[in-house]
Amino acid sequence: MSQGSIDILYRDDDLVIVNKPSGLLVHRGWANDEVVMMTLVRDALGLYVYPIHRLDRGASGALVFGLSTDAARALCAAFEHSQVEKRYVALVRGIPPEQGIIDYPIPRAPGGERVPAVTEYRRLRVFGRYALVEAVPRTGRLHQIRRHLKHISCPLIGDVNYGKGEHNRLFRERYNLHRLALHAASLTVPHPADGRPIQATAPMPADLTGPLAQLEAETAAP
């Protein structure tokens, strides 16, 4: 379902889950962008919306907003108490093990002290010296997936902070990939009214599926 330029994955009286495109901030704060997801969703619904969590500007995928103060409070509590499951898909340089757990402390905020952080992952596909990985963060730290995959020597493609410039350039020039290769593919949250699980799946956008298809075709060629 779409409403204007917003791809709505789920909506009821208490919450809305949308598929955020790459390139947009969730809300104003760290930058003074004129267009952010919060205002786009607000204008599309004609309602005030409450941001619950964040996705990096360069990432795409499932993003939830509360539609009332009570709903927002309950959703924030669910995130704080690790009652939310987020599944991401990431394209990385390097071939990680088939599955594993990254348990490595990272700062909660820029310049802060390191705090416990855990990410589970499994390898989905291999493209030569690159791999597609599913990552499930069990804690919510700043840039957690990006930092953790770099920690196991598998940095994300398109990551200008933690990635490798030569690989990012290769994917821009050969595969027309001009974004962070990170997509929040699904989100499961307890409903703020009764706690039942609400799951939303976010289709991967063309600016990721196109480069992945080209990469797969190249690596599959004899």
Nearest to 153 by CA among 164, 143, 168: 164
Let me know if residue 222 belongs to a domain. Answer: no
Place of tokens 């990410």: 119
| Beta carbons within 10 angstroms of residue 106's beta carbon | 20
- Is position 38 within any domain? yes
Task: Find the CATH number of the domain harbouring 166.
Answer: 3.30.2350.10
92 contacts 155 by C-beta, under 8 angstroms? yes
User: What total of structural domains would you count in the chain?
Assistant: 1
Any domain includes 221: no
Range of the domain at 167: 2-214
**What is the pLDDT tens value at each position of the chain, 222 positions in all?**
545 578 999 999 999 999 999 999 998 766 677 889 999 999 999 999 999 998 999 999 999 999 999 999 999 999 999 999 999 999 999 999 999 999 999 987 777 889 999 999 999 999 999 999 999 999 988 899 999 999 999 999 999 999 989 999 999 999 999 999 999 999 999 999 999 999 999 999 999 999 999 999 998 766
β-strands 182-190, 60-66: how paired? parallel
Residue 100 inside a domain? The answer is yes
Rounded Cα–Cα distance for residues 89 and 150 (Å): 15
Catalytic residues: 56
